[in-house]
Chains A and B, each alone.
Chain A
Amino acid sequence: MIERTPVLNILTHFILAVGFILLFLPLWIAFVAATHTIQAVNSAPVELWPGNQLWVNMQEAWVKSDFGQKFVNTLIVAVAVVIGKITIAAITAFGIVFFNHRLRMVIFWLIFITLMLPLEVRIVPTYAVAANALLPFQKLMDWTGLTWLIESASGIRVAMEWNLLNSYTGLILPLIATATGTFLYRQFFLTIPDELVEAAKMDGSGPLRFLWDILIPLSRTNIAALATIMFVYAWNQYLWPLLVITDRANYGLVVVELRTLVPDSLTTGGGTPTWHLAMAATLMIMIPPILVVIFMQRWFVRGLINTDK
């Protein structure tokens, strides 16, 4: 419904403006803080216009936190999460929607339930598994008596261990194992007309070929949306990397590293808070997700304009 009355126009624009300011002001203050010297940032009243120290602050923050390696790490993790997530989501949704097997609904509901258990809720067991990814299998063997059997037969006690702490795998895998992408794909796959599936069958295309030749190209906009969401999600991860990565020099991620720049009694030892560095680092960290969103947005629009259907 489109209303056209001057009063409503003014009111809606006013609400829009308030919302914009609420969202934009913190970003602006962060930007302004990043452009001033430590003295200017810490003097009252708060500076509202940018200074000329941005480049200097950014350089100092970069060197101080050794961001080079950490940016590369974060990029590796984010990209791997995006690719892994898209792949797994597409395949599981494909299996749920296009194959009529007995366990279909069971699997569907199992995946559905995981939606209610985000990583933060099951962080302790997930950590236990990450510490030894083979632990569930070891337990299974212990319970079934297989370990005992092998030990009494060969004298060797089976103790499997695969430690994922302090590794890219440990950072990436738990972030991939979520159900959101699967649902996005499922909803899209359900809109594919049966006739299209049957036409592909008549053309002699097997299931995997159908997935690759027809479903994946048709879900381009879906992939773009999911990639954007997952990239930002993975990039902003804080709690999980904080837990699994103790070797921060090699595997540290930028968002976690930011903590060391945020001034508190630990980092400054009671000295003047270094907000200018923290804000400069924040700005740098924000850039990649923003670029991804801007770039992917074009894809959304293209997908919407191209009346493929």
Chain B
Amino acid sequence: MADISIRSVRKAYGKDEVVHGVDLDIYDGEFIVILGPSGCGKSTLLRMIAGLEEITAGEVAIAGQVVNQMEPRERGCAMVFQNYALYPHMTVAENIGYALKVAGMAKAERIARVTQVATSVGLDGMLDRKPGQLSGGQRQRVAMARAIIREPRVFLFDEPLSNLDAKLRVQMRHEIRRIHNRIAATSVFVTHDQHEGMTLADRMVIMNKGTIEQVGTPEEVYDHPATTYVAGFIGSPAMNFLPGRISTAGRAVVLEGGARLDISAAAALGHDGLLVQVGLRPEQIAIAAPGQSGLPVRFDFAEELGSGRLYHFLHEDLPVTVHSDEKRRFAPGEPATLTVPPVAVHLFDAQTTQSLTAAAALAEARARVNA
């Protein structure tokens, strides 16, 4: 059992605070992805769990035991580094077995374990090579094997796929997920790539500027982003934002320029006249003929994706992107109308950037799952 509990953890370098009081519970055997842009403190948080970075304030506990003062080796964590950090002068076998050698395991036993682990990650026949003679993907496997062999309670990944090319990245992603399913150790994976986050995570943690913006399953985070930051960060192409004002009576949000979008009753309630940011996912917008009720726009340009097309429209000079499977032709400047179902209209308080809809919708969705 190795759950990790993080209690109001802070990290400051001198007076410069980079992590501002993070609370997080990671359950045993869970695959958690910490997602955020560079400089958001996600790596720092990971390194504080690993013990490579001192914890300025707060508490990190692994399996119920506070580890603040423990050396990295005593914490039972294994880490895969961004640049793999393989020992260049050691062979693959020596690299994988180094932790066991330090721990004082007998040579024969060590070799048996190394061979077994190397086979499990597909490194047979390469045990005598040096890291310099391996490809990026193979180095990545060695780094994985080096972590696996220690049978850690917790796996920590610090952007391990960012140095691989796109194809290999997908392949290694699958492998990491398979290994996790097989070993079932608690895993914490830090990345700035939302695709990695969405595809790997049991739950994701979205961080921004040293604080957690939202914690939830990839589905929850995508469907019900808690803040404009999360809404804009998750999803590709990114969510469209238009400023507007809620009109409870009309059960609608009135955009600048007078266009109205219908919203659900729950969202409208009690927020009459509130200035909001309206968030619309490109995938959830439909294109209708001009003149229908909806969002009047003008066509700007389109991008071909093969499986679909990205249409870029302008509404009152604000860009609105639509992702559609339909292949239609528009002339530049041609008017069209966009329609959005009321449940797909995300509303965020313009001042606090908090979602008006996410909390209620999330509670409802979770209740449905539990029932």
Contacts and interface: CB of A to CB of B under 8 A. Distances in A.
Interface residues of A, number: 21
Describe B's contact surface by its main secondary structure. Answer: loop
Interface string A200-220: 111111000100011001101
Contacts of A307: 132
A154 to B, nearest CB: 47
B81 A199 contact: yes
Describe A's contact surface by its main secondary structure. Answer: helix
A193 B102 contact: no
A220 B88 CA distance: 12
Contacts of B99: 202-204
Given A195-B81, A198-B52, A203 B98 contact: yes
Interface in B55-92: 71-73, 77-79, 81-89
A196 interface: yes
Contacts of B85: 193, 195-196, 198-199
A147 to B, nearest CB: 45
Contacts of A199: 79, 81, 85-87, 146
B355 to A, nearest CB: 38
Interface residues of B, number: 26
Nearest to B152: A202
Given A201-B72, A201-B73, A309 B88 contact: yes
B201 interface: no
A26 B370 CA distance: 95
B52 A201 contact: yes
A213 B87 CA distance: 10
A198 B81 contact: yes
A204 B102 contact: yes
B104 to A, nearest CB: 10
A308 interface: yes
Contact of A202 (B50, B82, B130): B50
Contacts of B87: 196, 199-200, 213-214
B331 interface: no
Nearest 5 pairs of A and B residues by beta carbon: A204-B73, A195-B85, A199-B85, A203-B99, A217-B89
15 contacts: A196-B87, A198-B50, A198-B81, A199-B79, A199-B85, A201-B72, A201-B73, A202-B50, A203-B98, A204-B99, A205-B102, A213-B98, A214-B89, A220-B89, A308-B89
